[in-house]
Amino acid sequence: MCLKCGCVVCDVVIENEVSSDMSCCLVSPELGTTSFVSKQRYLPLKAGSLTYNSQQDLEFFDSVKISVKKSRHQRVFGTPFPNISRAQSLIICCSNNPQNVDLPRYYSKKEKKPFPVPILDLRRAARERMKSRKGQPKRSAPPPKNGLLVQRMIHLAYTVLNSRTILINNLKKLLKVVPVLACKYCNEIHVGPMGHPFKSCQGQNSSIRKGKHEWVDAIVEDIIVQIESFHLYDRLGKRISHEERFSVPRIPALVELCIQAGVDLPDFPTKRRRKPIIRISKSEFIDADESELPDLPSQDPKPMLLTEIPDWEITPPSNKEEIVLLAEETLKVWEKMRTGANKLMKMYPVRVCGYCPEIHVGPTGHKAQNCGAFKHQQRNGQHGWQSAVLDDLIPPRYVWHVPNLDEPMLQKELRNFYGQAPAVVEICVQGGAVVPEQYKPAMRLDVGIPSSVREAEMVV
């Protein structure tokens, strides 16, 4: 209680009476503590007017691990003020709301994508490998570097390819009951009966339309981006030259990854070795003689591959329960496909261009000079190959999350309060599936959305 005005601002025990010239208590916004100020100078703690445990406050600040600017009292006397609003400071300093996680950064077309692992770390790891191998006998390369398949990955490759087929078939059914719109001029899509009002179109004649989208019905290809790559008959063979770019077939990159991992497709044959290759140099090798090998023994039957359902044979779910079950199944298949593809990428290398979305499944990228990204003239159209990540192989199309399905229309003034999610996840959530934990932070489910623009302006 203040001795002059009688206001109660803190729980400090005052043993001795202080001069009545003391003014009211001032709360420091930086430290969250209360400082007593007199008319002439700061009241020194050695006067015995306050009773508190300074060691307890110091331990508290060490546990919270905050760095604040020292006040004049701390610089003069070397001890902090008593921590009065300790609970409030703890809430402010330790708040880590997981519902406000930003989306992955959007990289401009004028800048190169960063390496998944920095170059300095790669060089440091290479030097450590050289030191550890020094003086030891040279060991043969393990599969798949020696040309053989990794046997434990064959079943996983079939699972990933079947999951992709099931995902496409389920999305075709969900599109019959869940409205999905796509812009006519750009690549943006929206899940809902009416498109969002944000002026973010950068397509043809967008300046005339002032950035407004023109919405049409979306198809499966708008939701799942089919990034294609060259099909390699021999994944350890010579690199594809610029003159061969039209003679080599191109298929979806995920399908090519599954083929190299062990999936046999009759339309796209590939070379399978039964003996490791004989390495001559870093870039030269010869195949071992396999004529003396006996015939292949009867192996276990491989999983059967599923086929996509044509559009005219798609039957939408009849009731709400079927829609919910279909949405939950689609969400599980989506996660299974991404998890399995990530495991395959760790074993079978995938390359991506740092300037454009070109993908190549193989140890080294092709030589086709078809990169048209920023400053491609300086590179003569060649790609800047680097290791790919999962989002390069299966890019998630992020869409705005509609928090209230009863009022699906979004307001452009409240754009900062809305979250986003991959299009597949948003379709399944609107179909009745439960939101997975890893997508909740970006969807901002616990963020309160103001009911009007006036209320939004009052938000701190």
pLDDT of residue 107: 75
Tell me the mean pLDDT per 10 residues along the chain, length 460.
47 40 41 38 40 48 46 43 37 48 77 90 94 87 90 95 96 95 94 92 91 94 93 93 94 96 93 89 83 70 89 91 95 96 96 94 93 91 94 93 87 88 95 91 84 78
| Token output for 206 | 């967008």
pLDDT of residue 35: 38
CA 300 to chain centre: 38
CA angle 102, 107, 112 (to 5 degrees): 140
> How many residues make up the chain in this entry?
460
Answer for the pair 242, 231: CB distance below 8 angstroms, yes or no: no
pLDDT of residue 45: 41
Distance of alpha carbon 274 from alpha carbon 165, whole angstroms: 30
Q: What values do phi and psi take at 189, rounded to 5?
A: -130, 165
Please report how the helices 86-94 and 54-64 are oriented relative to each other, as an axis angle in degrees rounded to 10. 10
pLDDT of residue 300: 66
Answer for the pair 351, 387: CB distance below 8 angstroms, yes or no: yes
CA 195 to chain centre: 24
What's at 109, amino acid-wise?
Answer: K
Q: Could you tell me which of 182, 203, 204, 202 has the C-alpha nearest to residue 191? A: 182
Q: What values do phi and psi take at 318, rounded to 5?
A: -85, -40
This prediction's pTM: 0.76
| Token output for 354 | 């740092």
pLDDT of residue 27: 40
